[in-house]
Structure 1
Amino acid sequence: MQPMIFLAAVILTGTFVVFALGKSPFFRVDRAGAAIIGAALTIASGILTFDQATQFIDFRTIALLFSMMILTAYLKLSGFFQWVGNLMLTRLRTKNQLLGAVVAASGMLSALFVNDIICLLFTPIVLIICQRAQLPPVPYLIGVATASNVGSAATLIGNPQNMLIGSLSRLSFVQYLIVAAPLALVGLAINYYLIRFFYRDALTGPLTAGQLTGVVYHRHLVRKSLWVTAFILTGFVTGCEPVVVAGLGAAYLLITRRLKPNKVYASIDFNLLVIFTGLFIVIGGVEKSGLMGWLMERLSFIDFSIFPLFAVLTLVLSNIFSNVPAVLLLKFFIPATDISGVWWSGMAIFSTFAGNLTITGSIANLIVVEIAKREHVSIGFVEYMRIGLPLTLLISAIGLVYFQLFYL
């Protein structure tokens, strides 16, 4: 192994170990820190020059993610998500109906906005609803987490890895939507019935609760944000450049007299943007050093052109390293003959479904668990897996059959 290949392998391994564990076992280094350190070492070691490193950063993905975060921040600050919570409380009559509404709202909102952010905003609302209605919160919180993953698979803007895949593959919004939306809808239905079955005793009976109190709505900001959302989605559907349309929408929202910019910026997950930037450089070093070619030669006995094998590999790597790093590695296994984008679509769908396997399978799950913990609500690893494991296996199996029947 040549020195540069060895250095790239060490940097990649160290970075991915932190991503797999969630933090360094020795130092106070989280995933964002690991991405920064990995990128710095890649440049300092000479694997990439600074100019080469900037060329490996996919600024389309970064800009699209940032723009969608601004849009979601305005919806949050306008009171839109609290309004959704009030709508649930005033219109629903049974506990099962509330579960269905939570799964549907979490899934559909995650398809339009970044699922991590939806979990961040929606989890406190669900906790308040459960407290006011004297309901056990765990089934509903698991519904938020799992549905946000399943629903986000429906579009190229539903989660960070799908945005990345959209940028790398240049799949159109509609092209991917046609493939993924049916699977996401079936997945949400399975999601609902699994939770309803496992928690059937706790979810039986009428729902009694009033409106959420202390909620402030800014009608002008809600209307403005929803108009911008419609504008962005229309642009996506009509084939406009996603990053340009989303950027225009975000820029228009920032022209306001009603909100201080700092309130908007405080709602943006800059850690996620840092993680993306660092990983682009680390994987760029893997490619430039020749490490990926070296690995491919030693794995030549495996036929990665078999789609089911690729799907299983996507599920496994997404759970070991997290979705985004897995996608950056798996892009090298996409066949050159994939002109229609089926393999890219499969990678987006299966890497997203993989997030439901365990409680650490996606950032969205961890967000729900951590917010719940602050309110003294515990969601155990095994308890989550009772839903996550069968849900992931079922919808992944259905997905494989779906691809075999219609696209392969």
Structure 2
Amino acid sequence: MDFTIAIFILVYFAMALGHLPGFRLDRTGAAVVGAMILIAAGEISPAAAWAAVDYRTIGLLFGLMVVSAAFMVAGFYDRVAQSVGSIDVGPKGLLAILIAVSGVMAALLNKDVVAVAMTPVFCSICLQRRLNPLPFLLGFCFAANFASAATLIGSPQNMIVAQALDLSFVGFMRAAALPALVGLPVIWVVIVLCYRGRWELSVVPDPVKTGTEAVATPPVEFNRGETIKAAIVAVVVIGLFIFTDWPHMLIALAGASVLLVSRRMASANLLHHVNGDLLILLFGLFVVNATLTATGLTQHLLTGLRDVGLDLHDPMSMLGVMTVLSNIVGNNPAVMLVAPFIGGAQQPEALGAAIALGTSFSSSAVIFGSLVGIIVAEECRKRGITLSFTEFAKAGLPTSIICLAMAVGWVFYLTH
């Protein structure tokens, strides 16, 4: 038992820091190594380890990643980013359009894939127009995080929650969509106030270079036919989610299969953009969490939490727990920690909304609160733009606080 607890602590310590100190072991590596050590040490049998993995969540996530990747390979994300950037409006109008577009795309597609594809293009467009890219990239980041809470396909943690609580697509939207979308104008107001008088650049910074070549990547050429095909598949998948009770995993995998079989688009290109690291991380955390649960320690911890007024079946308590926990270990690991203990809740939709809104709204408080934030910060670094922890928090912290306060009122409304 002590060995299992030690491995569990080390794994989630790596989740919190992003790596294991002293080693070049990132979050995914830590989860996988922790799972393998526990299996090899006999703390959990191979059969029990396989049984611990929720194949429905993995299958759903993989299928939707392929659907989203199809838009990336077809050049759709780049075309949208370029179209938004070319609109002849002032900085405040451009910010509003960017927030709306990124919010809609994040809600209907995987927010992380959208961020990977569109962040470099938005950054380049801002520099070309001699605009300060920080308010626009922060608006994009916050909007992607907030709006992704609107649907169960908006982010990996939503899919995990929906599977654990057996929520329908419509049920999830009914519980979480309104506050997620209302958060978008809040983002615009806060950023406009924070960056008044700082919209333009006097000097365009030089990009960081690797060797003799700049790190900036050229835009993906737009393929109209493949974009139409991906759009049809996406609409059919979402329609089946809404109007049928078929298993979400099977619908997503069927859609992915249609896209992978193509005469024009190589399957390797699609699979290259699937976030395999995230899938492997989830595999590892399923095993690590199951091993700890088998020790009985988690039940004692849950009892202790109830004694201090924190019940994981209570939506309001869960909103507070996820707000704090997701900024310590990350959104997906945080949801993975609580997922085994939320089944059988009396108010599953309200509980799902609390988890989705807590993880999404709090993720803009600190720069490493979400993968989207990390992607934006890295792209700024490559372009020679300084996005410090303090700069991120100036706009992100008040935005998160306002929207979390709104989430408290919404969850109270759902539960009364």
TM-score range, shorter chain: over 0.9
One-letter identity of the residue aligned with 2:22: F
Residue 228 of structure 2 is aligned with which of 223, 226, 230?
223
**Contact 2:165–2:348 (CA<8 Å) still a contact in 1?**
no
Aligned-pair distance for 1:174? 0.4
**Contact 1:232–1:246 (CA<8 Å) still a contact in 2?**
yes
Query: Which residue of the partner structure matches residue 159 of structure 2?
Result: 163
One-letter identity of the residue aligned with 2:40: A
One-letter identity of the residue aligned with 2:318: F
**Contact 1:354–1:392 (CA<8 Å) still a contact in 2?**
yes
Aligned-pair distance for 1:146? 1.1
* Superposition map of 1:121-132 within 5 A: 121-132=117-128
* Superposition map of 1:5-20 within 5 A: 6-20=2-16
Alignment pair present for 1:315 and 2:320:
no
Alignment pair present for 1:31 and 2:27:
yes
Aligned-pair distance for 1:216? 2.3
Query: Which residue of the partner structure matches residue 194 of structure 2?
Result: 198
User: CA 1:123–1:49 in 2, change beyond 3 Å: closer, same or farther?
Assistant: same
User: CA 1:28–1:215 in 2, change beyond 3 Å: closer, same or farther?
Assistant: closer
- Give CA-to-partner distance per residue, 1:287-334, whole Å, 9 cap, x none: 112121232344442122354333211111111111122112223554
Query: Which residue of the partner structure matches residue 294 of structure 1?
Result: 300
Aligned-pair distance for 1:238? 1.1
**Contact 1:228–1:249 (CA<8 Å) still a contact in 2?**
yes
User: CA 1:198–1:22 in 2, change beyond 3 Å: closer, same or farther?
Assistant: same
Q: Number of aligned residue pairs: give it.
A: 397
CA RMSD for the aligned pairs? 1.9
- Indicate the SS of the match to 2:130: coil
CA distance in 2 between counterparts of 1:247 and 1:335 reads 25
- Give CA-to-partner distance per residue, 1:217-250, whole Å, 9 cap, x none: 2111011011111111111111332111111111
Aligned-pair distance for 1:12? 1.1
- Indicate the SS of the match to 1:158: coil
Q: Which stretch shifts more, 357-366 or 334-343?
A: 334-343
CA distance in 1 between counterparts of 2:343 and 2:62 reads 30
Query: Which residue of the partner structure matches residue 91 of structure 1?
Result: 87
Aligned-pair distance for 1:215? 5.8
One-letter identity of the residue aligned with 1:316: V
Alignment pair present for 1:282 and 2:278:
no
TM-score between both structures, scaled by the size of structure 2: 0.91
- Give CA-to-partner distance per residue, 1:229-286, whole Å, 9 cap, x none: 1111111111332111111111001111112222112211111111010000111111
Structure 1: runs of 5+ lacking an equivalent: 206-212
Query: Which residue of the partner structure matches residue 237 of structure 2?
Result: 232
**Sequence identity of aligned pairs in percent?**
31
CA distance in 1 between counterparts of 2:325 and 2:90 reads 40
One-letter identity of the residue aligned with 2:8: L
**Contact 2:85–2:122 (CA<8 Å) still a contact in 1?**
no
Residue 53 of structure 1 is aligned with which of 49, 54, 57?
49
- Indicate the SS of the match to 1:153: helix
CA distance in 2 between counterparts of 1:307 and 1:237 reads 24
* Superposition map of 1:9-408 within 5 A: 9-203=5-199, 216-239=221-244, 240-305=246-311, 307-331=315-339, 334=342, 336-408=344-416
One-letter identity of the residue aligned with 2:184: L
